[in-house]
Structure 1
Amino acid sequence: MPSLLVRDAALIRLASLRLSHFFSSLPFLVGAVAAARLPGLSEFFVSLFNVLPTLLLLLGGAFCLVYGRQREVFLLLVVYVGYFLLDIQVDHFRDNGQVREDAALVFHLICLLLPLLYALYGCWEERSHLLQDIFARALVLLAVGAVALGLARRYPQGIAEWLAQIHWPSLHAPWMSLAQLAYLVFLIAFIALLVQYLRRPRPLHAAQLVGLIGLFWMLPQVFILANALQVVSSMVMLMLVAAVAHEAYQMAFRDELTGLPGRRALNERLQRLGRDYVIAMVDVDHFKKFNDTHGHDVGDQVLRLVASQLRKVGGGGKAYRYGGEEFTLLFPGKSLEQCLPHMEAVRLAIEHYRMQLRDKHSRPRDDREGKQRRAGKTASEVSVTVSMGVAQRQAEQRTPQEVIKAADKALYSAKAAGRNCIRSAGHRRGAVKVSTPVD
């Protein structure tokens, strides 16, 4: 079955990278660093941050389980266990003015295991049955904890010295306040979570990445800043829970395939329109035939491609996934004449975009053969076109639903006229053709 070339898939994936994915997590990190650096917190906030990690583990963990987010439950658990063990050490240091005998060993182990387990659970997606998945994750956590505890009790001095040792002197810098091995594990964890986000951009993956940065900043400050441990641990756990809530919102209001706002988001927006607006219905031409010929995977890529172009529409317009191969463009506060040039620009951009297809059964065996085939242009090129029907709010079309019906009728007129064109209705008597159909 043919598939889109990596170039097209990569471009569509890059178009899915959005700063908004970090909106639910970055404020928590900035606030945590700012609060931790304060010389002192009020008694209320000190008491709050002392109980907040436990509350987030219980309430946030239950919230995550409701949405089937087992890995976030175990991310919360890993952060909480690290917080709990370090909090014991910090309390002893505050009460006695000196650290416990096992403080170095516990601290180095946490600096090593916390990013390791955090990255492991962050990249471990939910795939199996709920109870089986929870059991497998718990088993891994217990196994790692048991091995670490056994080695720490059997060889406490040797493990502590080995963890604190500078294994690569040429890579050591004066600013490094953690064990050298911890920086290596944090780097591996960061790369793993970054690759995961780049492959599947979503708020949850962005929050995991930001949370790891927060833990990396927190650990060297545990015995230096009075409230760093409680504040940062709480904020990292809170950002993970907030990311789950963010994705729950997106599940309801954003189309997962294209990344555009969905039908529910459109209905919400239609309730807040003013007196003047334009609505356009967009349909991918011959999509069923294209889907049957090239397969559903390529059909999904086509929808993503069309969505990525519609997202760029100018003139204050916004694109929505209406359903199937149909999209909606909404122009609040605009007239038909103001919107048509922007719609035509989007239609032309989709028409002129060439997608290269290849048969996955005849893929080259190595890069050299692949370059030769690409140089010979053996891959077939296909193009996608769209038809648009547009309507403006008029006296005879007072509600958004009536305007959508008028735009739908104009869309049928565009398809009857040969497709790959724009037809308007409701602005003047009869349909107005604003572009020439292309066979």
Structure 2
Amino acid sequence: MSEKYVYCFHLKESGTLSLLWLYPIKQGTDLIVANVIGDGNLEIIAAGEKVYVLDKTGARVWESNLGKAISNVHSSDLNEDGYGEIVAGSSYTFRFNKAYGEIFLLDGFGHLLWESTDNYMTEYVVIKDMDHNGTLDLVIADYANVISGYENMMGANKADMYFSQAMTSFNSENYRDALVYFKIAREEYKKDKNTNKVLEADDYIQKCELFLNTGSSYEMGLYFFGMGDYQKSILYFEDSKKASLNKQDFDAALKADEMIEKATRYVEAQTYLDEANKYMSEENFDKAYSIYNNALNVYQRLGDNQKINLVQSNILKIDNYKKAMDYFNMGKSYFSSNDYQNAKSYFQKASAEFNNLGDVNKVASCEDYISKCNQLIDSSKGLSSVNNILLYGGILIGFLLLIVLLLFFLLLK
């Protein structure tokens, strides 16, 4: 990654790298790969102006703006629920070189679960069971080398934390999220054998389901749709449609049917993207170009400007790659014809294009040819100088011989 982009390369059997995709970010500082959504696939988590989470194709899963630039990210299953949480640290410096930083804890869908009230530098983070009590602890250090340990905030008060998050969502009338968190909190209270809290969580769960009413499945469909899990959202929308038809609520059924069609289009577009990315990794640019355009047509019908920009960026990348390859092949053609000056010019153009595309191997190949061209150009200049010396020397010798012959004939007379 760089300050401006996250890059993904494909390692070929030849050992060379080929750029699969890049994603624009701001103030990039750190990057990890982990499974935080729990779907069995790895996500790319980058730190920068925000926390950026991308899927394997380079598509945005979510971005979380915490109001502060993030200097580093870590992931571990802190609450032991089988899904990875994200620990994000922000670091910034005030005058007199006194540094402060905060820690944020997010779940796999970008919801803020917890944030520190103390300020520490978070350049170095250790997640480990330091006190051997069976729960993970978070250990950080400030720039004065003071080691501070956060007892696992997901440990003994884990249920309370989820309950608090549920109440925040409930009071904001976000009943969909509240329902999820109340159910998690209820299970944690059951583990703690806290009967009163189990009953309280049950009461709120019933209230959430009442508020969501027959739209419960529809709301869950919207939730997974918003998370980009379109296959799962279709299942919930189909349940909602079926329930609405059973109640003869045809408006609700039509609403669910529209979302099924929309989610199906997203699945279709993602299939195109996966196929196009595969052809890109194989450098089959004509196939990739055609299939990216199929995906673009779907996203244009959906009116998804972010996805449109992503696909157009990939199409532009192919155009630029083709242009770079044209320059490269022209350079090779001139090189084969011993026209090293023109060959050098085209290799320089190709090198600049490949550099913009992030193809370090092609840049290296161009620079190698440029070096050879320079050597051969210098060599040809040396040979030319020698040839000139021989030519002019021969003319001079011939002229002197002519003078000698003329003098000889004059003496004979």
What range is the shorter-chain TM-score in?
under 0.3
Of the two structures, which has the highest relative contact order with CA contacts closer than 8 Å and spacing of 6 or more?
1
TM-score by length of 1: 0.24
TM-score by length of 2: 0.25
Which structure: greater strand fraction?
2
